[in-house]
């Protein structure tokens, strides 16, 4: 896809962009709702009507009936989910249409359908419950809904897994192996009850015995931002900062999540920082824009990024600029909204509604 912002927006000063956004918000008033994910730039966060994690924002989108213009400052799968959860009278706009999620792209429809076919001899839909992480394309959410499964996010993955395993013998969790594994451990599963489905190999690279024994089959996907965090970094930070609290996102590898003081969704991390007493030292393992914002809003606490050397930026979240936001608010009538069509829309909605119900 090619996307170029008109020159007028590319070359505007920050002050002029801010004024334009303020004026557009004033004009559109209740027609407009700007949803902003925690990983967005500070200059975008400033204009949020709601800021949250992927679960919280989808819940707000589902309940926001009055606004007909929903501007989602996040990545593509989030805007798609918001479109599925909103009514026909509402349009969802993604200010930078190039903002995708490389982890979501690790589960392609053809590979997931091939895996599901290979799993038929092990009970298929009778015995295996698909759980799709929110970070997936709408087509895969529809696959999940069609097969009786549900969507989860990092804030409700444990409830989703419980729901799934109360109804079927196994769960088929995609695409984030780490969130799936970390959730399974939290839920009380043993490591040997979880297997990784390598979609580049026949039968996921697993033996029949391994699949039969598994309670959770994990897709071999990961987030390149979160897999840069290591256990050594936690040891080092603890040696250098006595009393430090380490909080990480559950997309981090299992050894990192197990060593951390706490783990949870982006909203969990925000709450953790807010509730920590003044003077706390907090090392965070997640995306850098959220960490910088936490350090900025809590000057009475020492808050910093866990790795100390890599810069864990989500380049896709970072794509959305104030320039994009100003353009979207002023020219939404010329922009194609994010639209998920039938039958994918209704099938994906089944899986999303289930997620909202179990919460
Ligand atoms: P949250 O659901 O915690 O906001 O996370 C979304 C995400 O993409 C993390 O990388
Ligand atoms: Fe996707 Fe990772 Fe970016 Fe989250 S941080 S949107 S999982 S690439």
For the segment 201-228, what is each residue's pLDDT rounded down to a tens digit?
999 999 999 999 999 999 999 999 999 9
- The pTM for the full model equals 0.96
What single-letter DSSP state applies at residue 90? Answer: -
DSSP state of 46: T
Check residue 4 and give its pLDDT.
Answer: 85
**Which of 101, 153, 177 is the pocket-test mutation for ligand 2 (most atoms within 8 Å of CB)?**
101
Strand 216-219 versus strand 262-263 pairing type: unpaired
H/E element holding 265?
A: none
**Which ligand 1 atom is nearest residue 287's CA?**
10
Beta bridge pairs of residue 71: 34, 93
What pLDDT does residue 1 have?
A: 66
Whole-Å CA distances, 101 to 11, 77, 79, 315:
27, 8, 12, 9
Q: What is the mean pLDDT of residues 318-331?
A: 98
> Is 107-221 in CATH node 2.40.50.140?
no
Residue 143 is predicted with a pLDDT of: 98
**In this structure, which residue's CA is closest to atom 8 in ligand 1?**
135
Q: Measuring CA to CA, which residue among 60, 83, 183, 196 is closest to residue 133?
A: 183
Residue 300, class by beta-carbon neighbours within 10 Å (0-12 exposed, 13-18 middle, 19+ buried)? exposed
Say how far residue 79 (Cα) sits from the centre of its chain.
Answer: 11
Going from N- to C-terminal start, the domains of the chain cover 7-100+317-342, 107-221, 226-313
Strands 69-73 and 91-93: parallel
The Cα–Cα gap between 219 and 175 comes to: 5
Nearest CA-CA partner of 244 in 174, 164, 301: 301
40 alpha carbon to ligand 2 midpoint, in Å?
12
Classified by CATH at the fold level, domain 226-313 comes out as: Rossmann fold (3.40.50)
Q: Tell the residue nearest (CA) to atom 5 of ligand 2.
A: 314
User: Is 107-221's fold the same as 226-313's?
Assistant: yes
CA nearest ligand 2 atom 2, residue: 223
Between CA 108 and CA 118 the distance in angstroms is 16
Average model confidence (pLDDT) across the chain: 97
Query: Residues with Cβ < 8 Å from 283, sequence gap 6 or more?
Result: 234, 237, 241, 244, 245, 246, 247, 304, 305, 306
What is the Cα–Cα distance from 61 to 44, expressed in whole angstroms? 18
- Ligand 2 in reach of 288 Cβ (< 6 A): no
Burial class (CB in 10 A: 0-12, 13-18, 19+), 24: buried
CA of 53 to the centre of ligand 2 (A): 12
* pLDDT tens by residue, 118-136: 999 999 999 999 999 999 9
- Topology (CATH level 3) of domain 7-100+317-342: Rossmann fold (3.40.50)
Nearest residue by C-alpha to atom 6 in ligand 2 = 101
Cβ atoms of 170 and 120 within 8 Å: the answer is no
- For residues 266 and 314, give the distance between their C-alpha atoms in angstroms, rounded to a whole number: 13
Scanning 119-207, the segments in alpha helix (DSSP H) are 124-127, 138-146, 157-167, 177-187
Query: How many angstroms is it from 213 CA to the middle of ligand 1?
Result: 30
Ligand 2 pocket, residue 101 CB under 6 Å: yes
pLDDT in tens, 298-318: 999 999 999 998 789 999 999
pLDDT for the residue 310: 77
The Cα 171–Cα 211 span in angstroms is: 11
Task: Please report the atom of ligand 2 found closest to the CA of residue 251.
Answer: 7
72 beta partners:
35
Report pLDDT for 304.
98
Indicate whether 285 pLDDT > 80: yes
pLDDT at 309: 81
Tokens of 6: 């008109």
Q: Note whether 292 and 182 are within 8 A (CB).
A: no
Q: What's the confidence (pLDDT) of residue 2? A: 65
């Amino acid at each position: 896809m090619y996307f170029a912002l008109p020159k007028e927006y590319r070359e505007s000063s920050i002050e002029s962009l801010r004024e334009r956004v303020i004026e557009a918000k004033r004009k559109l008033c209740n027609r407009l709702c700007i949803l902003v994910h925690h990983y967005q730039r500070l200059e975008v966060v400033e204009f949020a009507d709601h800021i949250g994690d992927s679960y919280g924002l989808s819940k707000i989108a589902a309940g926001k009936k009055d606004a007909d213009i929903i501007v989602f400052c996040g990545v593509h799968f989030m805007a798609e989910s918001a479109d599925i959860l909103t009514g026909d009278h509402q349009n969802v706009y993604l200010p930078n249409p190039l903002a995708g999620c490389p982890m979501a792209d690790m589960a392609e429809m053809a590979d997931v359908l091939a895996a599901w076919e290979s799993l038929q001899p092990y009970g298929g839909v009778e015995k295996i419950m698909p759980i799709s992480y929110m970070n997936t394309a709408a087509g895969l959410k529809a696959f999940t809904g069609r097969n009786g499964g549900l969507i989860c996010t990092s804030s409700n993955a444990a409830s989703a897994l419980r729901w799934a395993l109360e109804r079927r013998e196994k769960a088929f969790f995609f695409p984030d192996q780490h969130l799936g594994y970390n959730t399974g451990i939290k839920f009380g599963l043993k490591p040997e009850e979880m297997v990784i489905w390598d979609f580049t190999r026949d039968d996921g690279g697993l033996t029949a015995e391994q699949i039969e024994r598994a309670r959770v089959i994990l897709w071999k996907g990961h987030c390149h931002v979160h897999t840069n965090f290591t256990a050594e970094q936690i040891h080092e930070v603890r040696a250098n900062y006595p009393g430090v609290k380490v909080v990480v996102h559950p997309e981090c590898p299992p050894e990192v999540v197990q060593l951390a003081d706490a783990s949870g969704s982006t909203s969990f991390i925000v709450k953790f920082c807010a509730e920590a007493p003044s003077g706390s030292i907090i090392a965070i393992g997640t995306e850098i824009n959220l960490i910088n914002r936490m350090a900025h809003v809590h000057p009475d606490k020492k808050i910093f990024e866990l790795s100390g050397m890599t810069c864990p930026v989500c380049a896709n979240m970072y794509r959305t600029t104030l320039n994009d936001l100003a353009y979207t608010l002023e020219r939404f009538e010329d922009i194609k909204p994010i639209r998920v069509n039938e039958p994918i829309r209704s099938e994906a909605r089944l899986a999303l509604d289930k997620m909202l119900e179990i919460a």
